[in-house]
Structure 1
C-alpha cells in the first residue's frame, strides 16, 4: 500500500461518480471564469485548509459533509466548487486530505450504538421506581406515607438522571456537542412537579383553598395526580426506543441521500413518525395507569408535557440545547404565573388577575393550564426540530457508549 497522498499527488480529484463532477457526470469544461483546482488557485484546497481540523479528524466523508453544513456550506455553495451537493464535495475533501498511514480511519465509529439490554433496563428504571413509590403511597398512612413520598421522589430523580446520562437519551458522548445551557434540568423537574401537584393546587385555589397540605392521596384538600406522572415515568422506555429508532434511521438516510435537501425531505417523515409513535405509547400508558389507579388519566396535559419533554430531549441529544431550555423555561414560567395570578387576585383590587385562569379552568378544568402552555411550547419545538434535526450536521457520529 502506498503512503498518504496529498491533493497535488491526486491530480484531478474525483467526486461521487467521476472526475470533478459527481453522480457520474463528466468533468465540466474549464473556462477562464472558473479557477483551476491545481496549485494556489484551487478552491477546494482553500476550503480544505479552512476546515483542516474537520477533515483530519473525520472518520468518513459524511462527517465532513455534516461539518461543512454546520458552517453554512449549502448545495448551492458546493456548486461553486463544481460539485452538485455538499456530500460530493465532502467525498473529494476526504480523499485529498493528507493522513497518517499509521492511524487509518475508524469507519466503525460512525455507526449508532445498538440498543442493548443494559440500555433497555435504564429506560425502564424510572417507571419501575415510580410504580414502587405510588404503591407505597397507596399502602401507607401518616408520617410513613410522607417518608415514602420523599424517598420515592429521590429514587425517581436518580432513575431519571441515570437514563439521561446513559443510552439513547444521553447527550454526553456526542462528538460535536452543542453549548451547555444551564437550567434545563431545573425546568424539567418543575414541570414534572407541577404535573403531580399543580392541578390539585390550582383547582383548590380557584375554589378558595387549599385548606391543608398534600396527604399523598387524590381525595385530600390538595389532591395528587399520580396517574399522569406514573405514565410519564413509564414512558421513558418508549422515549429511549423512539430516540434510538430516529438516530438509526437518520444515519441510514445520510448514507443513502444524494444531497442535503434530499436528506431533509427523507428525515422529516422519520422524525414525525417517531414523535407519533411516542405519543401513541404515552396515550396507552395513560389509559392503563388511569384504570389501575382509578384516577383521571389527564390525557391533554400529560400528552402535551410528554411531547414537550421528548422534543426537548431529542434536540439536546443532537447538540441543540438553547431552544429546549427556552421552551421548558417559558412553559414553567407560564405555570408559575397562572398560580400566582390566582393567589394575587385575593388582594384588594387585584381580582382581575385571576380572570384568564378562572375562565380556562371553568372551560377545561385545572389541566387546561399545563395543556395549553406545554402544548404551545411543544408545537414551537416541533417546528424547530423539523428544521434542525433534518440537517446532516445534527447526525454527526456518536462515540460508542459502554
Structure 2
C-alpha cells in the first residue's frame, strides 16, 4: 500500500515539477536573451561609425571641399558608386557626400572659401603664349615663299623647329597645359601635322608615278607643300585655349549649381558639344583667312577633322585621360602612313593589289579622302569617349593652376 501511495504521490507531484521546469526554462531564456542582444550583431547599430571612417580616409577632400558636390566628385573619382553608398545607409553618392560635408562643418572646421577668379595678368600670360605658334608658323610660311632651292630647305627645317618650340611653350601653361609627365602623343601629333603639310602632295605624286627626281638627286620642281592647314591649326591655338578655358569655367559653374552627379552629367554634355562647335567655327574662319592670304586651295575637310581630333585629344589629356588619345592618334597616324606605304609598295613586282583600296578612296574623294577618313574616325571616337569621361564631376575638380 505504501508502494501504491508512493506511486500516487509521484503522479500527483508531476504537474508541479513540470510547471517548475517550464518556469526555470523561461527564466533561463530571459537571462540568455539580453546576452544575445548585447552581441555586436549587426554592426550598423554599434558604436562604430563607418561614415566617420570614410571621412578620415578622405580627410583632405572633405577639408578643402567648398560644396557637397565636390566631395561627391572626389568619391566618384575614387570608385565610390551608389551601390557603395548604400552600405553607408545612403541612397546615392551625393547623399553620402552631403553628410560628410555637413559633419566636417560641425567639427568646427570652417570650409575654405571658393577659389578666387584668376588674376588678369595670369590670363594675359597664357593668352600671349598661345599666340606664339601662329606667329612662328606665319614667319616660317613667309620664309618658304621667299626662298628657293637649298635656302628653302634650311628655312623649312628652322621654321619647323621654331614652331615646335613655340607650341611646346604654349602648351606648358594655361587651360591646355597637361599634367607633369603626361606627354605621350608628341610624336603622333608631329606626324599628323607633317602629313597635313606634305601628305596630299606626296600622295598625289605617288599616284602619278612620282615623285620625279633629277639625275643630280634634286627634285624636279618645288616640293608640293600645303601650308594652309598647318598655318590655320597653328593660329587656332589661341581659340583652342579660350574654348578650353570656357569649358573649365562652365563646368565649375555647373558643378556648384548641380544637386546630383547625374544632373551635372546631363548639363555638361551640351557644354562640351558647344565648346567643340565654337572651336571648329573659329578654325573655319582661320581657314578662310589663310586660304585667301596664301592663294591656295582650301583644305576644309581634312583640316577640320584634324583640328577636331587634336582639340579633343588635348582636352582629354589636360583632364588626365591620356590612354585613349594616345591610341586614337596612333591609329590615325598609322592609317595615313599605311596609305602612303601601300602606294609605294604596289610598285614592286606582283604587289599592285596593295594599292587597290587606297586608289579606290583617291578616285572617290581625291587625296584628301585619306586624312579626312583617318582623322574623322579618330575625332568621332574621341568625342564619344569625351562624352563619357569629361561629363563626370570628378574630371572637373579644382586644380592648382594659375589660370
TM range (shorter): 0.7 to 0.9
2:137 and 2:234 in contact (8 A); partners too = yes
Distance 1:369 1:170 in 2: 30
Distance 2:118 2:332 in 1: 32
2:70 and 2:255 in contact (8 A); partners too = no
- Deviation at 1:78? 3.2
Q: Which residue pairs with 1:331 in the alignment?
A: 332
Distance 1:200 1:110 in 2: 51
Which structure carries more helix by proportion?
2
In the TM superposition, what are the counterparts of 1:278-289 in structure 2 within 5 Å?
278-289=279-290
Distance 1:400 1:60 in 2: 20
Instruction: Confirm whether residue 368 of structure 1 aligns to residue 340 of structure 2.
Output: no
Gaps of 5+ in 2: 1-40, 215-219
Number of equivalent positions: 357
Q: Which residue pairs with 2:292 in the alignment?
A: 291
- Deviation at 1:89? 2.1
Question: Which string of whole-angstrom CA distances, capped at 9 and with x for unpartnered residues, describes residues 2-26 of structure 1?
Answer: xxxxxxxxxxxxxxxxxxxxxxxxx
Q: Which has the larger radius of gyration?
A: 2
Q: Out of 46, 49, 52, which is 2:53 matched to?
A: 46
Question: Which string of whole-angstrom CA distances, capped at 9 and with x for unpartnered residues, describes residues 224-260 of structure 1?
Answer: 0001110010111110010000000001011000111
In the TM superposition, what are the counterparts of 1:389-400 in structure 2 within 5 Å?
389-400=390-401
Distance 1:274 1:45 in 2: 40
Instruction: Confirm whether residue 35 of structure 1 aligns to residue 44 of structure 2.
Output: yes
Distance 1:201 1:317 in 2: 33
Instruction: Confirm whether residue 157 of structure 1 aligns to residue 157 of structure 2.
Output: no
Q: Which residue pairs with 1:96 in the alignment?
A: 103
Q: Secondary structure of 1:261's match?
A: helix
1:109 and 1:398 in contact (8 A); partners too = no
Distance 2:330 2:107 in 1: 47
Gaps of 5+ in 1: 1-31, 174-179, 214-218
Distance 1:99 1:171 in 2: 37
Distance 1:220 1:285 in 2: 29
- TM norm structure 2: 0.81
Q: Which residue pairs with 2:79 in the alignment?
A: 72
Q: Which residue pairs with 1:107 in the alignment?
A: 113
Q: Which residue pairs with 1:134 in the alignment?
A: 141
- Deviation at 1:118? 1.4
C-alpha distance 221-364 of structure 1, shift in aligned 2 (>3 A)? farther
Q: Please say which of residues 293-302 and 139-148 is displaced more in the overlay.
A: 139-148
Instruction: Confirm whether residue 378 of structure 1 aligns to residue 385 of structure 2.
Output: no
Q: Please say which of residues 92-101 and 203-212 is displaced more in the overlay.
A: 92-101
CA RMSD of aligned residues (A): 2.7
Q: Secondary structure of 1:116's match?
A: helix
Distance 1:287 1:359 in 2: 29
C-alpha distance 50-100 of structure 1, shift in aligned 2 (>3 A)? closer
